[in-house]
């Protein structure tokens, strides 16, 4: 039998050392493990549906694609693990602090800078959240690295830059990036770069490890080794830091409801699903 094979998307150069390091961890503990990197999530999901990989490190949108593609093919997708930092995230809609817009109703008919078209956190979820409140306007997308599902935050950074330059009235970003952009100096606490939050979405979940019903025999061993990773291990800590977590948690699917609703509202996956057979 072949090695237990994982698929991940190469959204950043750090992906290679992360998975090389994790591969060493698994091999040292008796799990024949390897990984394949894909240029985009759609290719990864299709490869997983076709049995080319055994587990996928999926974005939230790739999870929905796996779930619905699996249903179409009579397969059952399961989220087996996620990071501690993948749970209960929110996105925010921000305006410049000197703006006259102080509540969400003031955003009706305005222009919104968003991330890439396929970004759950900076496009699909916040726009659906606004639409639920009767707020729509001109959407200005910042399509950085399409197919990466917003994992590359360049689109969100460009949306904030457009807001600060005055070319859009509001920007949609994940709240964690609002804090990150403040730390890096893009957003300030006073003056022309200061911003204000006028809307925050309900909590949602982010990435997960996905498997299908015909599990590889080593799936349980892979999962148990994930849960055994310790942030106190000096060899693992740099890898966990790069991947943005301190521990792995069991997968859950309740946190994907906001994205499922957004996908349905915008009929976002209709064209992609039509090609799954």
pLDDT in tens, 189-210: 888 899 999 999 999 999 999 9
Q: Is 167 exposed, middle or buried (0-12, 13-18, 19+ CB in 10 A)?
A: exposed
CATH class for the region spanning 91-200? alpha beta
Tell me, what's the pLDDT at 1? 65
Same fold, 4-86+205-273 and 91-200: yes
* CA dist 131 → 134, 171, 188, 277 (Å): 5, 15, 29, 32
What stretches in the chain show pLDDT beneath 50? none
Token pair belonging to 138 = 């001109």
Tens of pLDDT, residues 91-115? 999 999 999 999 999 999 999 999 9
CATH class for the region spanning 4-86+205-273? alpha beta
Rounded CA separation 207/222 (Å): 17
Rounded CA separation 249/26 (Å): 17
Residue at token pair 């949108």: 61
Rounded CA separation 70/248 (Å): 25
- The domain limits of the chain are 4-86+205-273, 91-200
pLDDT > 70: what percent of the chain? Answer: 100
């Amino acid at each position: 039998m072949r090695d237990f094979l994982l698929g991940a998307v190469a959204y950043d150069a750090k992906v290679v050392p992360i998975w090389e390091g994790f591969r060493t961890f698994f091999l040292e503990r008796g799990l024949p493990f390897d990984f394949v990197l894909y240029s985009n999530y759609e290719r990864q999901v299709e490869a997983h549906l076709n049995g080319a990989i055994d587990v996928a490190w999926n974005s939230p949108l790739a999870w929905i694609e796996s779930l619905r593609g699996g249903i179409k093919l009579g397969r059952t997708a399961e989220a087996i693990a996620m990071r501690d930092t993948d749970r209960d995230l929110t996105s925010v809609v921000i305006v410049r602090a000197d703006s006259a817009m102080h509540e969400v109703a003031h955003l009706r008919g305005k222009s919104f800078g968003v991330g890439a078209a396929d970004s759950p956190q900076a496009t699909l979820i916040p726009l659906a959240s606004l639409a639920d409140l009767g707020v729509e306007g001109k959407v200005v997308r910042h399509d950085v690295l399409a197919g990466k599902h917003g994992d590359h935050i360049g689109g969100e950074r460009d949306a904030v830059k457009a807001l600060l330059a005055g070319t859009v009235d509001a920007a949609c970003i994940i709240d964690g990036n609002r804090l990150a952009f403040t730390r890096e100096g893009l957003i300030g606490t006073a003056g022309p770069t200061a911003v204000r939050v006028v809307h925050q979405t309900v909590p949602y979940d982010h990435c997960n490890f996905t498997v299908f019903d015909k599990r590889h025999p080593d799936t349980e061993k892979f999962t148990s080794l994930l849960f055994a990773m310790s942030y106190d291990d000096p060899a693992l800590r740099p890898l966990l830091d790069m991947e943005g977590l301190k521990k792995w948690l069991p997968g859950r699917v309740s946190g994907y409801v906001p994205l499922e609703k957004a996908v349905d509202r915008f009929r976002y996956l209709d064209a992609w699903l039509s090609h799954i057979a």
